[in-house]
Structure 1
């Protein structure tokens, strides 16, 4: 805990923010009616026995390498596939990959106390097995954004025999207070959302509030300035509004998962200190044997270089690559700019996909 920091509590906010979640989803429906909803690529579902499902995207080359995309279990996975012009899914398909994506279960639809091991091991493992069975491949490429990248890295550390390569996109791996805005704000609370209120979930709007508290620059000021800079540029403005619509798609988080994230990852810096158990054993960065590609934004306060580079230095592989993404207009939130930005799709993704392709048959 950071000394001399005022201690705050979440409890009074819990019930009110459940109502806010419903209101934001209603606004999302209005945005959809106005033409700002996601235009996702065609897919069908592969079922697993663990609660999560897998999207299998149409249009893939029959013999292309398989990649499993791992979104964060926050909001919807559509940030990977908002629009044909801003679709990481489409860029993978165009590059010849067979594309699959994890679809996490609705946390409000289960009473099970789903925690970090359920997401990073049991459910993600079931998704990996489903793709392996569907493709006949022994090992897969994993690619994850934000918390999805963190979960993918934990799985790669616990099951190196199943991972051919790993791409982490704006995903923190080191969680000490000095590494970023979220780590600092977590340290300033006397409890966690998991200690507040009733029920088995944390409202999505509470996660938004934590983000705004941690970094108003990221979650408030940048969004306003991005909107202003996009006026007069129809393509930028549409991209901005697509992301804003995506932010309204609230998805509650299981109470146990949030408690584990705060307690194990953030307060114990659990990945670097080997306090995370995956595959029945304690794991850290040194257990990742697959090639690792990492996309970072120097200005990002959510997944800062300081929250990633120490883990990269501790990897169990020398085959690693850094790709730098620079802020650009028309993305609303710079944390997701690498997923939707025009310059990201023009300049960044061809390099990342070429790197992945070179390692797809290793």
Structure 2
């Protein structure tokens, strides 16, 4: 026979549990709306700014004090053996450098610090319309050399390694080809587009654009790059973020659902807010760089040819001699596997390798499985080449 008093007590307990959960959800939702910055976990690792030039700044990260760190649920011991060759991370434009130090439990910087590396991160800053004229020359022939010289002075070590994500990988390749710096020992690229015509329908469209632009240039007797002023091509960060989301509209909808389900768990809410902030809080894309991408990467396809015009000369990828490791994501809708793999055909490196690993364009570098694949594989590879 049912115990009525017991049922009443159980009902009251459940009601109180629901009320408490409702308060938690309401408080978390209010914090998410009003004080979102309190929930963002990125860019928390300790560092010093050791070089500044133009918009660029260079961060040098402090060694870890822990004996071990947690990376996506796995314990990673902090190595007592320090690598001789410093490592410089190079981010893309648009997407901020936060992806390298996304959150304490998913930070490429912390992972490599644990592996014993002296880690540096170039930050390209926050350009506005007054910086519309910035081009590859500014990033590759002015700012990167300044950052690398600072690393060499601080460490007393001439040799160094570069690690670039997406456009950051292109900056690394251009720097290597343009400078012919013999001190560049190792180079890692992740999701960097080389042959952009190998991307299905978009590639076919670029082929059409290439032929049309040649005709247009001849008719107007004007190079394609000079037809539109850089300030008219400057792209605000909010549009950069929107274009990124449009490559995976279903993923954006799922993200909103994930937000709702995370409201009852502050830790889960912090992780979701941090990741979504990286997608939403993107920097402006300078108009001069848009010009360069259209004329050199998209229409001219110079990267696929391995010869890029820069700073009044030509940077030849056949002059790149550094050890090279390159990755592509198996589900990358922005930089396909064939677009990235072509790199091996144009560089002069003898020690070169290419791997396809799980993930889309962001996931391959900063997703929950990135530490098991791109991070671990690149660290193991660099370990053999950094002493």
TM > 0.5: yes
- Report Cα offsets for 1:4-51 as digits up to 9, x if no partner: xxxxxxxxxxxxxxxxxxxxxxx9995633513525211110124454
1:76 corresponds to: 96
What pairs with 1:5-44 in structure 2 (closer than 5 Å)? 30=34, 32-44=36-48
Say if 1:72 and 1:147, in contact at 8 Å, map to a contact too. Answer: yes
SS of aligned partner of 2:171: helix
Which moved further from structure 2: 60-69 or 34-43? 60-69
Deviation at 1:357, TM superposition (A): 1.5
Query: Which structure is richer in relative contact order (CA contacts within 8 A, separation 6 or more)?
Result: 1
SS of aligned partner of 1:179: coil
Deviation at 1:179, TM superposition (A): 2.7
* Cα gap change, 1:111 to 1:310, in 2 (>3 Å): closer
What pairs with 1:284-323 in structure 2 (closer than 5 Å)? 284-323=316-355
Which of structures 1 and 2 has the bigger CA Rg? 2
Structure 1 residues not aligned, in runs of 5+: 1-26, 328-333
Deviation at 1:222, TM superposition (A): 2.5
1:136 corresponds to: 156
Say if 1:295 and 1:323, in contact at 8 Å, map to a contact too. Answer: yes
Structure 2 residues not aligned, in runs of 5+: 1-30, 65-80, 214-223
Say if 1:42 and 1:58, in contact at 8 Å, map to a contact too. Answer: yes
Matching residue within 283, 288, 313 for 1:256:
288
Q: How many residues align?
A: 323
2:188 corresponds to: 167
2:6 corresponds to: none
1:356 corresponds to: 382
**TM-score for the superposition, normalised by structure 2:** 0.73
SS of aligned partner of 1:102: strand
Aligned mates of 2:32, 2:94 — CA distance in 1: 15
What pairs with 1:1-362 in structure 2 (closer than 5 Å)? 30=34, 32-59=36-63, 64-108=84-128, 110-111=130-131, 113-160=133-180, 161-176=182-197, 178-179=198-199, 195=228, 201-211=234-244, 216=246, 218-225=247-254, 228=257, 239-278=271-310, 281-327=313-359, 334-361=360-387
SS of aligned partner of 2:362: helix
1:21 corresponds to: none
SS of aligned partner of 2:105: helix
SS of aligned partner of 1:350: helix
